[in-house]
C-alpha cells in the first residue's frame, strides 16, 4: 500500500498581526466603583473573576467576558471583587468609594414598598442637568425592579437625542421585562429590530424628528401627548405593567424652556406622583420644589455621582452613531442582518417636521405641529434616517403625525436619473406601504 512521502520541511507557526493583549487586574473592596472611559474606536474587555459586581444595576456573571465600546463604565462592587480587563488603547481606570449607589438602593426599596401596597405602581419623573446621572439612575432602577419579583416597569425616554430602544430622534415607552444588555449602547434590542427577550409587545415609539427640542416645542409637546395616550392604553390593558409603575427619563433642563412647560406637561400627561432630582447639592432640588410642590406628592434628591463624565458634542455624535449602527446590525450578542431593497421614487411619501431654524420669524405665523411634504431627491434623502409610520402612504399629514412608528430605515442611495432609491431595513422583506417621517440624522456607512 502506497504511503505519502515524509514532509521535508517542518510546519511553521502562523504569524498574526493582532497582538495578544496583556490582562490587567483590579481588586475592589465592597461598595466601590471601578470607573473608566472607553473611546469610540477602543474596545474594553472585562471579566469578573470572583465576587458580585454590577453595571447599571445588572449583575455581571463571573468568568464571562463583557465587551464595551464608546461608553463610560462604572462597575460597582457589592462585595469583594476581582476584575480582569484588557484594552489595546491606553485607559486610565480609577477606583472610588464616593458613589451614589447607597441612595439608589434606598430609593429602590421605597419603590418596592409602593408596588406591594397598591395595584397602581409608582409614577416617577427623573430630572436634572446634562450629565447628572438621570439615565443611569433610570437604567439602574429598571434593572433592580426585575431582581426580586417578576415586575415589568415601563421605561419612558423623553429625550430625542438619546437612542434608547430606538435610534435618536424618537421618544419611546418600553416595558422592561428582561435583564438589560450591559454591553449595548441602546439598552438592548427592540421588537422593531428583530428577535428580543424584552417583552411580548412592541415598544411604543413616537417620532419627533429633530435634534433640539427648541426647534419645535409645540411638536415636541404633541409627540409627548400622543405617547402618553399610548402609555395609558398599555397600563389599562396590562395589570403587571400598571403595578410595576413607570420611570420617566427627561431631557436636560437646559433643553427646556425657563418656565418648565415640558416638565409640567409630562407630570400632567403621565400622572406623575414622584419627582427625583439628580444634582450635586440641594440648590436645584429646592428651586424645583418651589415650582412643582403642588404638582407631585414627593420630591427626592439623588446626589450626582462623582464618577459622572461630561459628554461633549463629539462624544455624543459618536454615541449616536453607535446607536444607529446597533439598530441595524445588532451587537456581538444579537447579530442582525439588515436588508437593502430598491424602490421607485414615486412609491415613497416622506414628510418632515417644521424647524424654527429653517423658518425663522415665519415660524410664528404658521402651525408648528403640521408636517411638510418632502421632495424625494438626493439632496433631501441621501444617507437620511427615516421613521416608517403605521399610517398608510396616502394618509393626511394629521394622520401621519398621530401615528406610531413601525420601524426605522436608512436611505443609502437616491438615483434621480433612474428614479430609484435604495433603502436599508432592519429585517428582510418588502418596504411597507406606509408614510415616512424624515429625521435630522444622517448615517454614512
Residue 318 lies inside a defined structural domain of this protein? no
Domain identity same for 203 and 73? no
Decide: 279 and 132 in contact? Cβ < 8 Å. yes
Residue 146 lies inside a defined structural domain of this protein? yes
Residue 8 lies inside a defined structural domain of this protein? no
How many other CB atoms sit within 10 Å of the CB of residue 114? 18
Q: How does pLDDT run across 370-404, given as a tens digit for each residue?
A: 999 999 999 999 999 999 999 999 999 999 999 99
Q: Give me the CATH number covering residue 78.
A: 2.60.120.1030
Asked which of 38, 65, 97 is the last residue of a domain, the reply is 97
Confidence of residue 190 (pLDDT cuts 50, 70, 90): very low
Decide: 437 and 400 in contact? Cβ < 8 Å. yes
Between CA 249 and CA 347 the distance in angstroms is: 37
| β-strand partners of 62 | 48
Q: What is the pLDDT of residue 312?
A: 80
Which domain does 119 fall in, by range? 100-303
Q: What percent of the chain has pLDDT over 90?
A: 69
pLDDT at 242 over 70: yes
Residue 4 lies inside a defined structural domain of this protein? no
* Mean pLDDT, rounded, for 228-235: 95
Residue 329 lies inside a defined structural domain of this protein? no
pLDDT at 200 over 60: no
Mean pLDDT of the chain: 88
Domain identity same for 164 and 285? yes
Domain identity same for 163 and 87? no
* Mean pLDDT, rounded, for 285-310: 92
pLDDT at 196 over 50: no
pLDDT at 162 over 80: yes
3-state per-residue secondary structure call for the chain: CCCCCCCCCCCCCCCCCCCCCCCEEEEECCCEEEEEEECCCCCEEEEEEECCEEECCEECCECCEEEECCEEEEEEECCCEEEEEEECCCCCCEEECCCCHHHHHHHHHHHHHHHHHCCCCCEEEEEECCCCCHHHHHHHHHHHHHHHCCCCCEEEECCCCCCCCCCCCEEEEEECCCCCCCCCCCCCCCHHHCCCCCCCCCCEEEECCCCCHHHCHHHHHHHHHHHHHHHHHHHHHCHHHHHHCEEEECCCHHHCCCCCHHHHHHHHHCCCCEEEEEECCHHHHHHHHHHHCCCCCEEEEEECCCCCCCCCHHHHHHHHHHHHHHHHHECCCCECCCEEEEEEHHHCCEEECCCHHHHHHHHHHCCCCCCEECCCCHHHHCCEEEEEEEEECCCCHHHHHHCCEEEEEEEEEEECCCCEEEEEECCCCCCCCEEEEEEEEECCC
pLDDT at 252 over 70: yes
Domain identity same for 77 and 128? no
* Mean pLDDT, rounded, for 240-262: 96
Confidence of residue 361 (pLDDT cuts 50, 70, 90): low
Confidence of residue 7 (pLDDT cuts 50, 70, 90): very low
Number of domain units in the chain: 3
Q: Give me the CATH number covering residue 187.
A: 3.40.50.300
pLDDT at 307 over 70: yes
Q: What is the pLDDT of residue 17?
A: 54
All cell numbers assigned to 414: 437616491
Binding site as annotated, residues for ATP = 33, 131-136
Domain identity same for 346 and 252? no
Domain identity same for 265 and 238? yes
Q: How does pLDDT run across 326-347, given as a tens digit for each residue?
A: 889 887 777 888 999 999 999 9
Domain identity same for 86 and 155? no
Confidence of residue 199 (pLDDT cuts 50, 70, 90): very low
Binding site as annotated, residues = 33, 131-136
Q: Within its chain, how far is the Cα of 112 from the centroid?
A: 24
* Mean pLDDT, rounded, for 102-111: 95
Domain identity same for 268 and 178? yes
Per the model's pLDDT, the better-predicted residue between 180 and 85 turns out to be: 85
Q: Give me the CATH number covering residue 421.
A: 2.40.30.330
Domain identity same for 78 and 189? no
- Count how many Cα atoms sit within 13 Å of the Cα of residue 395 in the half-sphere of its side chain: 21
Asked which of 97, 125, 144 is the last residue of a domain, the reply is 97
Q: What is the pLDDT of residue 15?
A: 53
Q: What is the pLDDT of residue 364?
A: 60
Of the ranges 3-17, 73-87, 147-161, which one carries the lowest mean pLDDT score?
A: 3-17
Q: What is the pLDDT of residue 405?
A: 93
Q: What is the pLDDT of residue 191?
A: 40
Asked which of 255, 282, 303 is the last residue of a domain, the reply is 303
pLDDT at 176 over 50: yes
pLDDT at 136 over 60: yes
Domain identity same for 108 and 42? no
Residue 310 lies inside a defined structural domain of this protein? no
Decide: 342 and 420 in contact? Cβ < 8 Å. yes
Residue 228 lies inside a defined structural domain of this protein? yes
Cell 432609491 found at: 421
Domain identity same for 386 and 269? no
* Mean pLDDT, rounded, for 348-363: 85
CA-nearest of 282, 276, 280, 275 to 307 is: 280
Q: What is the pLDDT of residue 76?
A: 96
pLDDT at 243 over 90: yes
0.95 exceeded by pTM = no
Residue 149 lies inside a defined structural domain of this protein? yes
Between CA 420 and CA 166 the distance in angstroms is: 27
Domain identity same for 184 and 53? no
pLDDT at 303 over 70: yes
Between CA 180 and CA 196 the distance in angstroms is: 11
For β-strands 350-352 and 372-373, DSSP reports them as antiparallel
Amino acid at each position: 500500500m502506497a504511503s505519502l512521502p515524509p514532509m521535508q520541511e517542518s510546519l511553521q507557526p502562523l504569524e498574526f498581526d493582532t497582538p495578544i493583549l496583556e490582562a490587567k487586574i483590579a481588586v475592589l473592596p465592597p461598595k466601590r466603583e471601578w470607573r473608566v472611559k472607553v473611546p469610540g474606536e477602543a474596545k474594553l474587555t472585562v471579566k469578573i473573576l470572583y465576587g458580585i459586581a454590577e453595571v447599571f444595576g445588572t449583575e455581571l456573571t463571573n468568568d464571562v467576558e463583557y465587551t464595551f465600546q464608546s461608553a463610560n463604565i462604572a462597575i460597582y462592587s457589592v462585595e469583594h471583587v476581582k476584575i480582569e480587563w484588557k484594552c489595546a488603547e491606553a485607559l486610565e481606570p480609577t477606583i472610588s468609594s464616593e458613589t451614589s449607589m447607597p441612595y439608589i438602593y434606598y430609593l429602590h426599596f421605597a419603590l418596592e414598598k409602593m408596588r406591594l401596597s397598591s395595584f397602581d405602581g409608582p409614577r416617577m419623573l427623573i430630572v436634572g442637568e446634562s450629565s447628572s446621572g438621570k439615565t443611569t439612575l433610570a437604567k439602574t432602577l429598571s434593572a433592580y425592579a426585575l431582581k426580586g419579583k417578576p415586575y415589568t416597569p415601563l421605561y419612558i425616554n423623553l429625550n430625542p437625542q438619546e437612542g434608547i430602544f430606538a435610534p435618536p430622534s424618537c421618544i419611546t415607552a418600553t416595558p422592561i421585562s428582561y435583564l438589560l444588555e450591559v454591553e449595548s449602547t441602546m439598552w438592548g434590542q427592540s421588537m422593531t429590530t428583530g428577535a428580543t427577550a424584552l417583552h411580548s409587545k412592541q415598544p411604543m415609539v413616537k417620532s419627533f424628528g429633530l435634534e433640539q427640542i427648541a426647534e419645535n416645542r409645540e411638536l415636541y409637546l404633541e409627540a409627548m401627548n400622543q405617547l402618553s395616550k399610548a402609555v395609558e392604553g398599555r397600563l389599562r390593558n396590562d395589570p403587571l405593567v400598571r403595578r410595576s409603575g413607570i420611570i420617566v427619563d427627561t431631557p436636560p433642563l437646559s433643553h427646556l424652556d425657563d418656565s418648565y412647560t415640558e416638565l409640567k406637561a409630562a407630570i400632567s400627561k403621565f400622572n406623575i406622583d414622584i419627582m427625583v432630582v439628580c444634582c450635586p447639592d440641594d440648590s436645584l432640588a429646592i428651586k424645583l420644589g418651589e415650582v412643582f410642590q403642588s404638582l407631585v406628592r414627593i420630591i427626592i434628591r439623588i446626589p450626582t455621582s462623582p464618577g459622572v463624565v461630561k459628554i461633549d458634542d463629539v462624544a455624543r455624535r459618536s454615541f449616536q452613531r453607535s446607536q444607529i449602527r446597533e439598530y441595524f446590525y445588532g451587537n456581538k450578542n444579537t447579530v442582525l442582518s439588515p436588508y437593502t431593497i430598491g424602490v421607485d421614487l414615486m412609491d415613497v411619501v416622506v414628510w418632515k417636521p417644521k424647524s424654527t431654524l429653517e423658518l425663522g420669524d415665519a415660524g410664528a405665523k404658521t402651525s408648528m405641529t403640521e408636517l411638510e411634504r418632502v421632495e424625494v431627491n438626493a439632496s433631501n434623502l441621501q444617507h437620511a434616517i427615516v421613521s416608517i409610520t403605521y399610517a398608510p402612504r396616502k394618509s393626511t399629514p394629521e394622520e401621519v403625525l398621530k401615528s406610531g412608528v413601525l420601524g426605522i430605515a436608512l436611505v443609502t442611495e437616491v438615483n434621480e436619473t433612474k428614479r430609484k432609491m435604495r433603502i436599508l431595513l432592519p429585517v428582510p422583506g418588502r418596504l411597507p406601504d406606509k408614510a415616512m417621517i424624515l429625521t435630522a440624522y444622517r448615517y454614512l456607512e
